[in-house]
Amino acid sequence: MTTTAETSGSAPAAVAATQAPQSGDLYRPSFLPDLLIAALGRNPDKPAVYIGDLALTAAEVAAEISRYAQAYASVGLRVGSRTAMLAPNRPEVLFAMGANMITGCRSTSLHPLGSVDDHVYVLTDAEVETLVVDEKFADRAAVYLERVPTLRQVLTFGPTDLGPDLLALAPGFTPAPLRAPAVGPDDVGGLTYTGGTTGRPKGVLGTYRNAAAMTHIQLTEWQWPDEPRFLMCTPLSHAGAAFFIPVLLRGGCLVVLPGFEPGAVIDAIEKYRISATMLVPTMIYVLLDHPKLATADVSSLRTIYYGAAAMSPARLAEGINRFGQVFFQYYGQSESPMTVTVLRREEHDLSRPERLASCGRPVPWVRVALLDDDGNEVPDGEPGEICVRGPLNCGGYWKLPEQTAELFRYGWLHTGDIARRDEEGYLYIVDRKKDMVISGGFNIFPREVEDVLSAHPAVAAAAVIGVPDEKWGEAVKAVVVRRRGVTVPDDELAAELTALVRDRKGPHHAPKTVDFTDSIPVSPLGKPDKKTLRARYWSTTARQVN
């Protein structure tokens, strides 16, 4: 017999059972660890990654990630542990990256080409506790143990005197099914440091929400070949994760080179019948100028993804003529990563040459506006700062509340990039807001001058900066790399380039001086390093404006 108390209690319980919960896992989206597990499980017996002569199936990668995650746990790593990694491309980097995701660590990557002082700054600012290093960086890691107050242990790829050797520790564990960590959308999975073009690098808080949004947009908006064979020639620890998961979910595999060497890249395209790759513009320029390309079979390429820096329209047209209509541009930044806008393959139309200067149109998963300094949208055709709303945006800056407030002022993420929008919705970036040159009261965007210079047949690459000038405040200076075989005297070529800019853009944009150099300095990620370039000309001044 049912009592009154039991009856009265059962109705609310039944109702409660049918109501949607206010929290918990019912509506939890898939984050990057979930996507990694799904990607590795989709085609377990197919090759997932080639590194040199080593080919690993997805199941083998999953097994190694499991071993590494257990090794992490054995030395005390858990959800939220603050880790960093410094290593060249090798299979174990993938395993450690996967272990970071599965464990739920907050990871920071150190570029192998970075300086000791830069690494010490990042490790100290990020309050890193555990550093994973290749044995070749053992001497550096010993310095970091002395100079970084929070660093308590070093794990290594190979035997050293610093700490546990992951190559010996991980094989002692039996692989188990991968399980995603208990994390929320606003938890921080990565701390990425900006290039520091205007001062000390800032730590960008990469949340599980914005990392998943980036991958979601890649899978839905990017033009992937069927079962892509993807060539990666930049550090796995930086760009690898951004491409590894989408490639596997598309049924493809990743071919990894130790680094970017143009001859090796061309050879790999032929050997592996590469169908997709990612290159920054400076890499594309080098490939186009390499003599091996003239006879190479690169017909397997279906998509060349490019981004990270602006590309010369003239050189892009040259690339289309050589490789075909295979280019796909993505635009973003650490704060709103990789894919705020895209310019699709078919939009790289040589019959519309002006379009080649565009970074494309916003993807539908974010909202984009061009704002003035007061937060108002500017009319089409007028320059405004690209500002973004949506799940792609980061969580702000680590330990920098004022800079975070500035980043999100007026309820938008401010990219610092100035662009114009045409009547069809395409955006044209004219420059970084802080790179603008003010000469004689005129605002000059270096990108516009660089595009004109790069159209000259003698120019392989160009960078434009403002330099101190008593008359103009700042004067426009062009730093130019000649194409191979060009023998025109410096003064004649400088005069031609100055006249070309004066004719195309007007006298205020024309360089006051032109310097010739063997190469444009680039950051470890391949972007033109305007900070280093300016330092050559501003070293005797107390500030970087005049």
DSSP annotation of 309: S
Judge if 407 and 289 occupy the same domain: yes
The CATH number given to whatever domain includes residue 451 is 3.30.300.30
What pLDDT was estimated at residue 279? 92
Task: Give how far Cα 520 sits from Cα of 319, 454, 460, 462, 526, Å.
Answer: 20, 13, 10, 7, 10
Same domain, 457 and 348: no
Q: Which of 417, 434, 451 is the last residue of a domain?
A: 434
Establish if 224 belongs to a structural domain: no
Domain residues for the domain of 72 are 32-177+184-209
The reported pLDDT for the residue numbered 121 is 93
In a domain, 214, yes or no: no
In a domain, 543, yes or no: no
- The CA distance from 53 to 46, in Å, is 16
Task: Kindly state the tokens that stand for 31.
Answer: 């984050």
Q: Which of 416, 434, 452 is the last residue of a domain?
A: 434
CB atoms within 10 A of CB 346: 9
Report pLDDT for 310.
74
Q: Which pLDDT score, from 0 to 100, does residue 514 have?
A: 95
Specify the pLDDT at position 303.
98
User: 438: which 2 tokens?
Assistant: 């003010």
Same domain membership, residue 370 and residue 266: yes
Residue 525's pLDDT is what? 63
- Enter the tokens of residue 453: 């210079």
Q: Are residues 75 and 167 in the same domain?
A: yes
Q: Report the DSSP pairing between strands 367-371 and 361-362.
A: unpaired
For residue 427, the cross-strand partners are 360, 421
Q: Does one domain contain both 98 and 78?
A: yes
Domain count, the chain: 3
Give Cβ neighbours of residue 117 (< 8 Å, ≥ 6 apart): none
Q: At what angle do helices 490-505 and 446-454 cross, to 10 degrees?
A: 120
Pair 309, 418 in one domain: yes
The CATH number covering residue 70 comes to 3.40.50.980
CA distances (Å), origin 112, targets 195, 239, 243, 316, 526: 14, 13, 19, 29, 13
Q: Note whether residue 17 is domain-resident.
A: no
Whole-model pTM: value is: 0.81
- The answer to whether residues 333 and 369 belong to one domain is yes
Instruction: Let me know if residue 251 belongs to a domain.
Output: no
All residue ranges of the chain with pLDDT < 70 are: 1-24, 195-199, 239-240, 440-441, 524-526, 539-546
Q: Is residue 120 part of a domain?
A: yes
Domain check: are 163 and 148 in the same one?
yes
- For residue 248, how many C-alpha atoms fall within 13 Å in the half-sphere facing its CB? 28
User: Quick one: 541 exposed, middle or buried, by C-beta within 10 A (0-12, 13-18, 19+)?
Assistant: exposed
Residues 172 and 310 in one domain: no
User: Do residues 68 and 204 share a domain?
Assistant: yes
Residue 239 forms part of a structural domain: no
Residues 53 and 202 in one domain: yes
| CATH code at position 350 | 3.40.50.12780
The pLDDT score that the predictor gives to residue 441 is 63
Q: 305 with 440, same domain? A: no
Within a domain: 238: no
The last residue of a domain, from among 400, 434, 468: 434
